[in-house]
Structure 1
Amino acid sequence: MTGSAVIKHDAVIFDFDGVLAESTDIKDQAFAALYEKHGAEALAGVMAYHRANRGVSRFDKIRYCHRTFLNHDLSDKELAEIGRWFSARVEDAVAACRAVPGSMEFLKKHGDNLSLFIASGAPEDEVRRIVERRGMAPYLVAVFGSPESKAEIVRGILAEHGFAPGKVLFVGDAMADYNAARTTGVDFVGRAPPGRQSPFPNKTPVIPDLTGLSAWL
């Protein structure tokens, strides 16, 4: 797809971390803090897995990492306790971090003429609080997060609002976002910030920030 003055899409679905807010490093630091006491080898494995699975629910990643790298199957109670620790560590920082360049400008410009959504891998109640604190909520139709997967969220948006997949654009920074778009048939544009290699297959459209996103509508 090439840039055009004619708007093809009726809706845009955004991932949150790394797409609307420069918050990926905050989540990286939280994962490192959670596992650093278990030694360098376990930490290296955890961080490699975490970075390869950005956009996936932290609960799924933590359960997998404990089982794989610590040989411990977390109980639901233990996982919930870790989840509360993680949220407490990251929420204020994510609410206050820098916006991805062009993100607020895009929301303000297109909030009235496009249906805008968030599909995050973070817990839904947490990301909704953050969106409110960042002043984004008035421009959005709805904000979704885990435990639903990205693909489940997109399918739900298509079904509830009656959008044709080709009329919806997903903007994400991780393969979880790309795969959700491919699975559901919606269009996709990736975000890879300057200095960070694109994780997406060749020929995937990629932008460095959201200042030029309007060209992909």
Structure 2
Amino acid sequence: MRFLVPFKQIIFDFDGVLLQSADLKTKAFAHAYEDEAPELINAVVAYQEAHGGIGRREKFRFFERSIFGRQASEERIDALCAQFKSFISDRILEVPEVAGARALLEYLHGNVKMHVVSGMPQDELDDICARRALTSFFENLIGVPVSKPEAFASILKSEGCSPLEVLAIGDSTTEFEAARDLCIPFLAVVPEGATNKFPPGTCSLRDFSGVKSTLHKMRTCATSSRMSS
């Protein structure tokens, strides 16, 4: 390899990291509550933008209880999830990939083990990755109901590696916190114009444009993590 990869395992989030689908998911939540008061819809959007990476059922339960002040039945949550799924089902196949993502996957494939850990339901994650020809790049595709902390810990155990041999890449504090709690180095994806939600000093990039520059960021994460361990 021309550029050395400083990790044995890389864990990718999906929405906003491999696909530019984070905004689509936000619109889907807003659409589910389109008949509610605008200020309440704005609260739903604000929460979603600040808490990506959490499963939609958990979010809908939070919205119903904490924003709309009602105790929703499981039938109500099922209906909201079905509406959400219907909204994104075809649209997500048209969403562009994050710039440079596929080139990076092609470069890394066969040289480092890669995994996807997503807040998307498992069946949808499997289906979308298959339909977008992404499945073959990854050792594992892990979605809900497995939480991100559980998935990260499972990968460490099954692969028999130390946390410093793994890199987590994500765009939300959900996966950042899961990585931090397990001492896994983290690389944040913060698109141009987006608010940086991560603590100062967190390694970050806008997208994966240029394999060489992306690997340089990975090496920076590896160095800073080992110095602080």
TM-score bracket for this pair, using the shorter chain length? over 0.9
Residue 123 of structure 2, aligned match among 122, 125, 142: 125
CA–CA separation in structure 2 for the residues paired with 1:7 and 1:110: 8
* Worse overlay, 112-121 or 145-154: 145-154
- Do the aligned partners of 1:95 and 1:131 also contact (CA within 8 Å) in 2? no
CA–CA separation in structure 2 for the residues paired with 1:5 and 1:171: 19
How high is the sequence identity, in percent, across the aligned residues? 30
- Do the aligned partners of 1:154 and 1:180 also contact (CA within 8 Å) in 2? yes
* Worse overlay, 84-93 or 148-157: 84-93
Superposition pairs of residues 56-205 of structure 1, within 5 angstroms: 56-205=54-203
- Do the aligned partners of 1:198 and 1:206 also contact (CA within 8 Å) in 2? no
**For residue 213 of structure 1, what is the aligned residue in structure 2?**
214
**For residue 20 of structure 1, what is the aligned residue in structure 2?**
18
TM-score, normalising length: structure 1: 0.94
**For residue 223 of structure 2, what is the aligned residue in structure 1?**
none
Matched residue SS, 1:38: coil
Name structure 2 gaps, 5 residues minimum. 220-229
Which amino acid letter does the alignment assign opposite residue 130 of structure 1?
Answer: I
CA–CA separation in structure 2 for the residues paired with 1:133 and 1:5: 30
Any runs of at least 4 consecutive aligned residues in structure 1 with deviations exceeding 4 A, and if so which? none
CA–CA separation in structure 1 for the residues paired with 2:194 and 2:68: 30
Q: CA deviation at 1:5?
A: 4.3
**For residue 224 of structure 2, what is the aligned residue in structure 1?**
none
- Do the aligned partners of 2:5 and 2:112 also contact (CA within 8 Å) in 1? no
Which amino acid letter does the alignment assign opposite residue 214 of structure 2?
Answer: L
**For residue 42 of structure 1, what is the aligned residue in structure 2?**
40
TM-score, normalising length: structure 2: 0.89
Which amino acid letter does the alignment assign opposite residue 130 of structure 2?
Answer: E
Which amino acid letter does the alignment assign opposite residue 215 of structure 2?
Answer: S
- Do the aligned partners of 1:106 and 1:214 also contact (CA within 8 Å) in 2? no
CA–CA separation in structure 2 for the residues paired with 1:206 and 1:25: 19
CA–CA separation in structure 1 for the residues paired with 2:161 and 2:126: 23
- Do the aligned partners of 1:96 and 1:134 also contact (CA within 8 Å) in 2? no
- Do the aligned partners of 2:32 and 2:83 also contact (CA within 8 Å) in 1? no
Q: CA deviation at 1:64?
A: 0.6
Matched residue SS, 1:166: helix
Count of paired positions: 214
CA–CA separation in structure 2 for the residues paired with 1:213 and 1:91: 31
CA–CA separation in structure 2 for the residues paired with 1:42 and 1:138: 41
Deviation per CA, 1:6-39, whole angstroms, max 9, x where unpaired? 4321010000000000001111111111112111
- Do the aligned partners of 1:30 and 1:89 also contact (CA within 8 Å) in 2? yes
